[in-house]
Structure 1
Amino acid sequence: MLRRIESVLWCIYSITEHNALTCIMNIVVFYGSQTGTGEEFANRLSKDAQRYGMKGMAADPEEYDMCELSRLAEIDNSLAIFCMATYGEGDPTDNAQDFYDWLQESDGELNGVNYTVFALGNKTYEHYNAMGVYVDKRLEELGAKRVFDLGMGDDDGNLEEDFVTWREQFWPAMCEHFGVEASGEDSSIRQYELKEHNDINMNKVYTGEFGCLKSFETQKPPFDAKNPFLAPVIVNRKLNKAGNRHLMHLEVDITGSKIRYESGDHVAVYPTNDTAIVNKLGQILGVDLDTVISLNNLDEESNKKHPFPCPTTYRTALTHYLDIIHPPRTNVLYELAQYATDPKDQENMRKMASSAPEGKALYQSFVLEDNRNILAILEDLPSLRPPIDHLCELMPRLQARYYSIASSSKVHPNSIHICAVLVEYTTKTGRLTKGVATTWLKNKLVADNGHKSTVPMYIRKSQFRLPFKASNPVIMVGPGTGIAPFMGFIQERGWLKEQGKEVGETVLYFGCRHKNEDYLYQEDLEEAEKTGVITKLNVAFSRDQEQKVYVQHLLRTNKEDLWRQIHTDNAHIYICGDARNMARDVQTAFYEIAEELGGMTRTQATDYIKKLMTKGRYSQDVWS
Structure 2
Amino acid sequence: MSQEAIVTVAPMFGVLDITILVGAATFGVFWLVKKKFESSSSPPPENSFKIETRLTSMHSDDRSFISKMKNQNRNIVVFYGSQTGTAEEFANRLAKEAARYGMKAMVADPEEYDMEELVKLGEIENSVAVFCLATYGEGDPTDNSIEFNEWLQNGEVDLSCLNYAVFGLGNKTYEHYNAMGKFVDKRVEELGGRRVVELGLGDDDANIEEDFVTWKEKFWPAVMDFFNLEFKLQDISMRQYKLVSPPMDLPQEKIFKGEIARLRSFTNQRPPFDAKNPYLATVKAWKELFKGGDRSCMHIEMDTSGSKLRYDSGDHVAIYPVNDSELVQKFGDLLNIDLDTLFSLQNIDEDSTKKSPFPVPCTYRTALSHYVDITACPRTHVIKEIADYATNQEDKEKLLLLASNNPEGKAYYQKFVLDDCRSLLHILEDFPSCKPPLDMVCELLPRLQARFYSISSSPKVHPTAVHVTAVVVRYTTPTGRINKGVATTWLSSKKPEDGVVHTVPCYIRKSQFRLPPRVQTPIIMIGPGTGIAPFRGFLQERAFLKSEGRPVGENVLYFGCRKKDHDFLYEEELNSYVQDGVLKLRVAFSREQAQKVYVQHLLKEDAKDVWRIIGQENGHLYLCGDAKNMAREVLETLILIIQTEGNMSEADARSFIKKMEGQRRYATDVWS
TM-score for the superposition, normalised by structure 1: 0.96
- Of 123, 127, 130, the match for 1:81: 130
Which residue of structure 1 aligns with residue 656 of structure 2?
Answer: 608
In structure 2, give the amino acid aligned to 1:373. S
Deviation at 1:32, TM superposition (A): 0.4
Gaps (5+ residues) in structure 2?
1-56
- How many angstroms apart in 2 are the aligned matches of 1:14 and 1:408? 52
Gaps (5+ residues) in structure 1?
17-24
Cα RMSD (Å) of the superposition? 1.4
- How many angstroms apart in 2 are the aligned matches of 1:415 and 1:33? 29
- How many angstroms apart in 2 are the aligned matches of 1:13 and 1:612? 48
Which residue of structure 2 aligns with residue 554 of structure 1?
Answer: 602
Which residue of structure 2 aligns with residue 290 of structure 1?
Answer: 340
In structure 2, give the amino acid aligned to 1:611. K
Q: Does 1:585 align with 2:626?
A: no
Deviation at 1:180, TM superposition (A): 3.0
Q: Does 1:91 align with 2:148?
A: no
In structure 2, give the amino acid aligned to 1:110. L
Cα deviation, 1:24-81, whole Å, max 9, x if unaligned, reads x721110001111111111111111122221112111111111222222210011110
- How many angstroms apart in 2 are the aligned matches of 1:6 and 1:252? 38
Q: Does 1:145 align with 2:189?
A: no
In structure 2, give the amino acid aligned to 1:489. F
In structure 2, give the amino acid aligned to 1:437. A
Runs of 4+ in 1 over 6 A off after TM superposition: none
Matches within 5 A, 1:69-218: 69-186=118-235, 188-197=237-246, 198-218=248-268
Deviation at 1:6, TM superposition (A): 6.5
- Of 515, 520, 545, the match for 1:466: 515
Whether the 8 Å contact between 2:657 and 2:666 is mirrored in structure 1 is yes
- How many angstroms apart in 1 are the aligned matches of 2:394 and 2:191? 51
The sequence identity of aligned pairs, in percent, is: 58
Which stretch of structure 1 is more off in the superposition, 38-47 or 601-610?
Answer: 601-610
Larger radius of gyration: 2
Deviation at 1:90, TM superposition (A): 0.7
> CA 1:182–1:383 in 2, change beyond 3 Å: closer, same or farther?
farther
Deviation at 1:15, TM superposition (A): 4.3
Q: Does 1:455 align with 2:512?
A: no
- SS of corresponding position for 1:573: strand
- SS of corresponding position for 1:243: coil
Deviation at 1:606, TM superposition (A): 1.3
- Of 467, 476, 480, the match for 1:417: 467
- How many angstroms apart in 1 are the aligned matches of 2:63 and 2:536? 49
In structure 2, give the amino acid aligned to 1:285. L
Which residue of structure 2 aligns with residue 523 of structure 1?
Answer: 572
- SS of corresponding position for 2:565: coil
Cα deviation, 1:388-412, whole Å, max 9, x if unaligned, reads 1111110100000000000000010
In structure 2, give the amino acid aligned to 1:358. E
- How many angstroms apart in 2 are the aligned matches of 1:292 and 1:101? 44
- SS of corresponding position for 1:225: coil
- SS of corresponding position for 1:386: coil
- SS of corresponding position for 1:452: coil
- SS of corresponding position for 1:237: strand
Deviation at 1:196, TM superposition (A): 1.1
Matches within 5 A, 1:342-491: 342-447=392-497, 450-491=499-540
- Of 91, 101, 115, the match for 1:52: 101
Deviation at 1:4, TM superposition (A): 4.9
Which residue of structure 1 aligns with residue 611 of structure 2?
Answer: 563
- How many angstroms apart in 1 are the aligned matches of 2:604 and 2:83? 36
In structure 1, give the amino acid aligned to 2:649. T
- SS of corresponding position for 1:220: coil
Which residue of structure 2 aligns with residue 40 of structure 1?
Answer: 89
Whether the 8 Å contact between 1:297 and 1:304 is mirrored in structure 2 is yes
Q: Does 1:502 align with 2:551?
A: yes
Count of paired positions:
614
> CA 1:312–1:181 in 2, change beyond 3 Å: closer, same or farther?
farther
Deviation at 1:499, TM superposition (A): 2.2
Whether the 8 Å contact between 1:5 and 1:66 is mirrored in structure 2 is no
Deviation at 1:301, TM superposition (A): 0.3
Deviation at 1:5, TM superposition (A): 7.0
- How many angstroms apart in 2 are the aligned matches of 1:384 and 1:398? 24
> CA 1:173–1:343 in 2, change beyond 3 Å: closer, same or farther?
farther
- Of 69, 79, 84, the match for 1:12: 69
Whether the 8 Å contact between 2:80 and 2:132 is mirrored in structure 1 is yes
Which residue of structure 2 aligns with residue 594 of structure 1?
Answer: 642
In structure 2, give the amino acid aligned to 1:193. K
Cα deviation, 1:529-555, whole Å, max 9, x if unaligned, reads 110111x10000000111100000000
Deviation at 1:351, TM superposition (A): 2.6
Whether the 8 Å contact between 1:5 and 1:65 is mirrored in structure 2 is no
- Of 565, 583, 588, the match for 1:540: 588
- How many angstroms apart in 1 are the aligned matches of 2:126 and 2:170? 29
Which residue of structure 2 aligns with residue 21 of structure 1?
Answer: none
Whether the 8 Å contact between 1:53 and 1:182 is mirrored in structure 2 is no
